[in-house]
């Protein structure tokens, strides 16, 4: 069993082996602070996400490399949702003082973390490590860049905008349900169950698509699906002072959701309430649709038009969301909707 000191040294050595550099980096890990170059006409995006063991993940079903991937992915998704390009990251770890087999865990964790860094040319520039008498906590920060004025906010949705969604929703929530029911990851198998588990444990942030939307000023508002389509669309409506009509027939519910609900309506409700899809939800002038679709094609992503933004007065006071189903409109209640907006 290595001492705490030796253990932290090993983590640092692993980090140093994978350390990269990048054009905007002046000084990375090793001093009191990292130094990043600024450029006029550019804006910095900065976000942080905390993942706590037994709250946000469980070690009994987490694959360490996938956990490393997801730790970075959730913050990359935030930068994508702003239309920016991720560039730097920081990672702060509170590590349980007594945890077995730590060495191979962290090797695998950083394999997943740095593989995703390398895919998007993200450089780890700092962080902190402490022992803790409590659970493992992972605090992920990502710093990105965007051309001044091109960041896509939640608050820009306008009546008349169409609503678009990348990919599909509900696979991650399905995976979580299956994990709770005892399903195990088997990477040799390519089944619907395994795809659901992977969607939850190793989500793919839409970095390339977000960047294209920002660079081309293609959208009026954008958010990533972390709390579920219903909640995140409601957040967007609240921030934009608008309402949204969602066309029931168009919403791309993942095939995986059928593992939990065979009934189509139940599967729909499950999919729009489940979180952590990390798809991008955006609103745009319908004239931008060809450009939005071309960008999706270039990223190999499905893009679906799922509704439209309308005047706030169109909705009921209880929810800014309206469901259009079989030609009639009904309020769409947002389960657990947080009227105080997002955490950030």
**Segment lying near a copy of itself (by CB under 8 A), choices 129-137, 172-180, 211-219, 263-271:** 129-137
The conformation of residue 57, written as its DSSP 8-state character, comes to B
| Beta-bridge partners for 311 | 242
Interacting positions 220-259 with a copy of itself (CB under 8 A): 223-224, 239
Which of 3, 5, 182, 313 forms a contact with a copy of itself (CB under 8 A)?
Answer: 5
87 part of the interface to a copy of itself, by CB under 8 A = no
CB-based burial, 123-149: b 16+ in 10 Å, e otherwise: bbbbbeeeeeeebbbbbbbbbbbbbee
37 part of the interface to a copy of itself, by CB under 8 A = yes
Output the smallest distance, CB 189 to a copy of itself, in A: 32
User: How does DSSP assign 250-261, residue by residue?
Assistant: G--B-GGGGGT-
Do the strands 123-132 and 85-96 form a parallel or antiparallel pair, or are they unpaired? parallel
Structure tokens at 9: 């040294």
Contact criterion met (CB below 8 Å) for 268 and 323: no
Cα distances from 102 to residues 69, 98, 132, 242, in angstroms, run: 17, 9, 14, 49
Interacting positions 142-201 with a copy of itself (CB under 8 A): 142-146, 148, 151, 153-155
**Segment lying near a copy of itself (by CB under 8 A), choices 189-197, 259-267, 319-327, 333-341:** 333-341
Nearer to a copy of itself, 56 or 103 (CB): 56
Interacting positions 15-34 with a copy of itself (CB under 8 A): 26-27, 29-34
Which of 18, 19, 44, 325 forms a contact with a copy of itself (CB under 8 A)?
Answer: 44
Output the smallest distance, CB 104 to a copy of itself, in A: 21
Cβ atoms within 10 Å, residue 291:
16
Nearer to a copy of itself, 13 or 181 (CB): 13
Output the smallest distance, CB 290 to a copy of itself, in A: 26
């Amino acid at each position: 069993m290595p001492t705490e000191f030796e253990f932290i040294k090993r983590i640092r050595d692993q980090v140093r082996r994978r350390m990269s550099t990048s054009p905007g980096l002046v000084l990375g890990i090793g001093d009191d602070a990292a130094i990043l170059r600024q450029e006029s006409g550019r804006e910095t995006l900065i976000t942080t996400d905390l993942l706590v063991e037994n709250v946000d993940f469980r070690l009994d079903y987490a694959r360490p490399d996938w956990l490393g991937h997801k730790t970075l992915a959730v913050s990359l998704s935030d930068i994508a949702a702003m239309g920016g390009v991720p560039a730097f990251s920081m990672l702060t770890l509170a590590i349980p003082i007594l945890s077995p087999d730590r060495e191979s865990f962290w090797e695998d964790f950083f394999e997943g973390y740095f593989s995703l860094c390398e895919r998007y040319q993200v450089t780890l520039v700092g962080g902190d490590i402490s022992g803790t008498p409590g659970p493992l906590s992972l605090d992920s920060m990502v710093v990105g860049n965007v051309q001044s004025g091109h960041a896509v906010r939640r608050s820009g949705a306008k009546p008349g905008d169409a609503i678009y969604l990348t990919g599909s929703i509900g696979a991650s929530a399905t995976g979580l349900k299956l994990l709770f029911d005892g399903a195990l990851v088997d990477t040799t198998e390519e089944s619907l169950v395994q795809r659901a588990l992977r969607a939850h444990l190793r989500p793919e942030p839409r970095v390339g698509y977000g960047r294209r939307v920002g660079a081309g000023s293609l959208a009026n508002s954008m958010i990533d699906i972390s709390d579920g389509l219903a909640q995140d669309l409601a957040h967007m409506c609240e921030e934009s002072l608008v309402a949204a009509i969602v066309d029931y027939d168009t919403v791309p519910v993942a095939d995986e959701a059928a593992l939990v609900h065979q009934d189509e309506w139940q599967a729909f409700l499950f999919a729009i309430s489940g979180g952590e899809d990390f798809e991008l939800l955006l609103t745009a002038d319908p004239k931008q649709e060809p450009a939005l679709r071309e960008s999706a094609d270039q990223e190999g992503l499905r893009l679906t038009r799922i509704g439209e933004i309308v005047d706030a007065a169109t909705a009921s006071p209880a929810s800014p969301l309206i469901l259009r189903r079989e030609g009639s409109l009904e309020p769409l209640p947002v389960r657990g909707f947080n009227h105080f907006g997002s955490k950030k």
